[in-house]
Amino acid sequence: MNFINKLNAAWSGNDSLLCVGLDPDLARLPAHLRDRPDGIVEFCKAIIDATADLACAFKPQIAYFAALGAERQLEAICSYLRAKYPHIPLILDAKRGDIGATAHQYAREAFDRYGADAVTVNPYMGFDSVEPYMEWEDRGVIVLCRTSNAGGSDLQFLDAGGQPLYQHVARLVAEKWNKNGQCALVVGATFPEELAQVRKIIGDMPLLVPGIGAQGGDIAATVNAGRTAAGTGMMINSSRAILYAAAQDGEDFAAAARRVALETRDAINQYRR
């Protein structure tokens, strides 16, 4: 099953557009896990088990693991997801962008080492830096388009032939780059008007939408701007608000994560029908 088929099945099977981000910050882990060599694995596995029936995707952010030298723990988490929840897409949030030969190695990292169903990439260096990921014809390539951070406007709003650069990127991906039919775009919830513009350009192509939860994006505005006619088309990511829902060393962290994930999934569903 390719990435898009798996995503469609997860949208339907879990009645969810919620993507759960896995960004393990060692300082915010429960005290009993911080000093354990497998603490990150145990934390993420508990979050996954608590939210798997509420999510359309899981998205580990590689920087949170690499900064701690915890790539082996990331491998273990990805293996756990593939073994226990193979029906839920695994997105490696890496935002890679480099020349073709190097991009091929990054693709091997994402798809062969970690077994990801999709990976986020940066289009700044053009199609030849993105094309190597498409050698894995069943895997998703999720291209940065209109990011959720304020500084994204420094470049993404530059004029590109009479349209903002982010719209040019959306057209390139939708009309030229999506050779395998497995592409998606990253568009932030913090900019619902731009989200609506991208949806008009790309049709039903999926969107990975960061920015709700800790970043403050409005759920109603996000869903109204980005959903498809079928009420799907989005992976709306929440990371910190779910991962760290429990009071520090207080409420059971997995139960708290499930509570917030359920609330978020249901809040999204209010506006997608």
Domain that holds residue 135: 3-269
Instruction: Give the C-alpha separation, 246 to 212, whole Å.
Output: 18
**How much is the average pLDDT of 39-56?**
98
Question: How many domains in the chain?
Answer: 1
- CA angle, 137 then 147 then 97, to 5°: 45
Predicted confidence band of residue 217 (pLDDT cuts 50, 70, 90): confident
Q: Does residue 215 have a pLDDT over 70?
A: no
Instruction: Give the C-alpha separation, 113 to 105, whole Å.
Output: 10
Q: Is 176 an annotated catalytic residue?
A: no
H-helix segments, 109-249: 153-156, 165-172, 192-202, 219-226, 240-243
Q: What CATH number did the domain enclosing 225 receive?
A: 3.20.20.70
Predicted confidence band of residue 249 (pLDDT cuts 50, 70, 90): low
**How much is the average pLDDT of 146-160?**
93
173-to-129, 139, 168, 266 alpha-carbon distances in Å: 13, 15, 9, 31
pLDDT tens profile 102-115: 999 999 999 999 99
Q: What percent of the chain has pLDDT over 70?
A: 97
**How much is the average pLDDT of 244-253?**
78
Output the pLDDT for position 251.
63
Q: What percent of the chain has pLDDT over 90?
A: 92
**How much is the average pLDDT of 2-18?**
98
Output the pLDDT for position 194.
95
Indicate which residue of 95, 176, 179, 200 is catalytic: 95
Here the tokens at position 69 are: 């030298």
